[in-house]
Amino acid sequence: MTVSLRAWRLEWGQPVPIPGVLTLGPAARPNGVLNTAKRNAYNNSYNFILPQSWLTGADIKLEAEVNANSAVAETNYANNKLTTGNIRTRTSSPANVGIVLVKAAGLTPSIKSNSLHTNMIAYLRAVFPAAKVNFWYKSGGAIEANYDYRVPGDGTCGDGWADLLDDLEDIYDDWKNRPGNAFIYGLLDPGVTGAGGCGRLGEPIAAGKLSGNAGPTLAHEMGHNLGRSHAPCGVPDPDKNYPTYLNPQGAPYPASSIGQVGLNVSTQQTFNPAIAKDLMSYCGPEWFSPYNYLGVLNRLPSTLTASSITQETPHVTINGRIRDGRIELPRPFWVQDKPQGQYDGPGEGSYGVSLRNAANDILFERRFEPPTDKLAEDHDVGYFREVLPYHPETTAIVFMQDEQLMRMVLVSPHPPSVHLLSPNGGENWQGSGPFTIRWQAEDTDGDELSARILYSADGGGSWDSLAVNVKGEEFLVNAGDLPGSPEALVKVVVSDGVNTSEAVSDAPFSVDDKPPLAWITQPPNGTILYPEQPVFLQGLASDPETGPVPDERLQWRSDLDGYLGEGADLAIPALSAGAHRLTLTAEGAIGQEVETSITVIVGLSPYFPLILQ
């Protein structure tokens, strides 16, 4: 039986036909007659790829008709059509996710040929309401973060996760040329003991393990980043506004039900609302409900505007936690240049942090309120991070609760000195190395020193973070993950707790150019597809020099059907019958190409009876 789909665009409330009719034949859905219950299985339902011309940002109506040409005899043709209500289409801006590999307990996650990595990326791209999700990978390989990732059992992630998130906050700050709508996600090896992931409400920072559930974990934590609370399943204090969805008979679905059939378009997996749970809960199988899908969508801007370049002035970044009535300051403060005026707000809350001079005059004060809700809002209870315009006359940084002094940090009179020993000009880093960055740092006040290491591939025009909160005076870097450049520079920034100094390579050195890394994320290798079944190709490539490879430099081919198209996401109405070797070719910024391939089979699976004698 054939099924046809038509569309109308609503202009001034009136339907205007959109040219074209989509039709699928019997081979697209081989499993018997149609009924409502079969929506829960992809292969029992007809699935259309909507043309881009139908999705223009205006409201549309769709009409599906089965047996449109009356080829199959029926006793009742009147019930063959179904028209939707108004469907609103819109375009959100791309989400940009910076992946940071984390080395902990001697384990570093592998991403180059790892299905856990490709599955994680495919899941986020399928479930997230963004027009596109771009993935960036930190230069220089993994950061070392040997923290205790076991949870304390009080509803929080624990200090180890909080320390890692602080490291990622520093890396986010150092990502000076980051695109709009950017997030940082730390990725740990599944062998690290502890919880599966942790994120911060309203801030673009999260982390999780590269496990079999890495995709839902990444989407869940990014949901926290975009203001979403926990859905009511598996948590004692959930989002009280989460809706109760009703099934077609009018009875309530279980708590945290997604309320309607969900579909992962790339994997063709469906999610039955009778059992599927919202991914902001702690239950599964996980998929987004309309409630949280729209909540995330409404937090993503529809367009990204380039920020105007402003003058930068010194600012101090302060990380801390409030616990049991005490201010804890587990990491150094950093004084760095940031855009003037961006952090001038006075804030609000019962806590305050102020910069004071020698006469105890307040030079600047910020009020704040750390998160206190352990489950519904944020895993990282009591955490705060404040960026304040820094005044050179500051001699103390004072923390208050209302009018009560909680803690005072004195600013030592002398900044540290730092001298970069290598690389300091003329070196040639060929291959992966590792190569050693060495520096010499001293502080006449005897304060403990911490360092941040940055790398520039454009002669100092922009910088990428290599490491944060480093003790000692050397750091090993994997040059296989560095952008190639004939004018590379290294910067070492050292803090004595507040005062900050830096040293840069005296002259450029060279680093070999690298080809991009490429992955096919969907469909999985060895997938069997039905004839006439739409095929969704997804892949990505990351260029060490420029980040995500743009669509026009991603080319798809089949050894049977030839050139298929370009782009990270490509919808093919159908492939010809047979075994296809699908190849994604990615071209880097300097012309280097890399290929990756999978095999899929188009045709019904053969059945061979087994005869025992």
Same domain, 501 and 537: no
221 within some domain: no
Q: How many domains does the chain have?
A: 4
Last residue of a domain, one of 482, 511, 540: 511
Residue 225, Cα to own-chain centre: how many angstroms? 10
User: 398 and 367 in contact (C-beta within 8 Å)?
Assistant: no
pLDDT of 333 higher than 50: yes
Residues linked to residue 475 through DSSP beta bridges, in sequence order: 437
In one letter, which amino acid is 547? G
In a domain, 258, yes or no: no
Select the more confidently predicted residue: 440 or 312: 440
At 250, the amino acid letter reads G
**Mean pLDDT on 130-152:** 89
Confidence of residue 567 (pLDDT cuts 50, 70, 90): very high
327 belongs to a structural domain: yes
What whole-number percentage of the chain has pLDDT above 90?
59
Q: Is 438 found in the same domain as 485?
A: yes
pLDDT in the model for residue 608:
47
In a domain, 436, yes or no: yes
Instruction: Classify residue 131: in a domain, yes or no.
Output: no
One domain for residues 421 and 392: no
pLDDT at 78 over 80: no
Q: What is the CATH number of the domain that holds 590?
A: 2.60.40.10
Q: In 3-state terms, what secondary structure has residue 481?
A: helix
pLDDT band at 373 (very low <50, low <70, confident <90, very high): low
Residue with tokens 């045709």: 603
Which range is least confidently modeled, 64-78, 350-364, 491-505? 64-78
Query: Which of 511, 540, 563 is where one domain is finished?
Result: 511
Q: Is there a single domain that holds both residue 387 and residue 432?
A: no
Q: Pick the last residue of a domain from 55, 88, 121.
A: 88
Residues 507, 527, single domain; the answer is no
pTM assigned to the model: 0.89
Output the furthest CA–CA distance in the chain (Å, rounded).
99
Mean pLDDT calculated for residue range 140-167: 87
Q: Name the range with the highest mean pLDDT among 131-145, 163-177, 436-450.
A: 436-450
367 and 386 assigned to the same domain: yes
For residue 360, what pLDDT is reported?
Answer: 95
Q: Inform me whether the pLDDT recorded for 434 exceeds 50.
A: yes
pLDDT (average), residues 174-194: 90
User: Do 507 and 528 sit in the same domain of this protein?
Assistant: no
Instruction: Count the Cβ atoms, other than its own, within 10 Å of residue 74.
Output: 12
Same domain as 453, residue 539: no
Integer Cα distance of 494 and 285 in angstroms: 47
In a domain, 178, yes or no: no
Judge if 397 and 445 occupy the same domain.
no
- Measured distance CA(298)–CA(412) in Å, rounded: 46
Q: Is residue 462 part of a domain?
A: yes
Note whether 426 and 473 are same-domain residues.
yes
Give the burial class of 482: count Cβ atoms within 10 A of its Cβ; 0-12 exposed, 13-18 middle, 19 or more buried: buried
* Per-residue pLDDT tens digits for 169-179: 999 988 877 88
Residue 279 has pLDDT above 50, yes or no: yes
**Residue (of 1, 28, 3, 5) closest to 531 by Cα position:** 28
Which range has the worst mean pLDDT, 105-119, 152-166, 181-195, 353-367? 152-166
Same domain, 423 and 397: no
Residue 475 within any structural domain of the chain = yes
- Between the alpha carbon of residue 259 and those of residues 270, 271, 276, 456, the distances in Å are 13, 10, 9, 49
Top-confidence range, 61-65, 355-359, 534-538: 355-359
Residue 52, SS3 per DSSP: helix
Q: What is the mean pLDDT of residues 182-195?
A: 93
Residue 6 three-state SS: strand
Question: What average pLDDT does the segment 388-396 reach?
Answer: 96
In 3D, which of 486, 507, 490 has the Cα closest to residue 590?
Answer: 486
23-70 pLDDT, tens per residue? 877 766 656 566 667 777 777 788 887 888 888 767 899 999 888 777
Q: Please compute the mean of the pLDDT values over residues 534-553 and round it to a whole number.
A: 90
pLDDT at 607: 47
The residue range of the domain holding 544 is 517-602
pLDDT confidence of residue 376? 46
Give, in order, the Cα–Cα distances in Å from 351 to each of 391, 403, 412: 21, 9, 24
Q: Report pLDDT digits (tens) over 408-423.
A: 999 999 999 999 999 9
Helix, strand, coil percentages, rounded to 5, for the chain: 10, 40, 50
Mean model confidence pLDDT for the chain: 88
Residue 225, SS3 per DSSP: helix
Work out the average pLDDT over 469-493. Answer: 92
Confidence of residue 544 (pLDDT cuts 50, 70, 90): confident
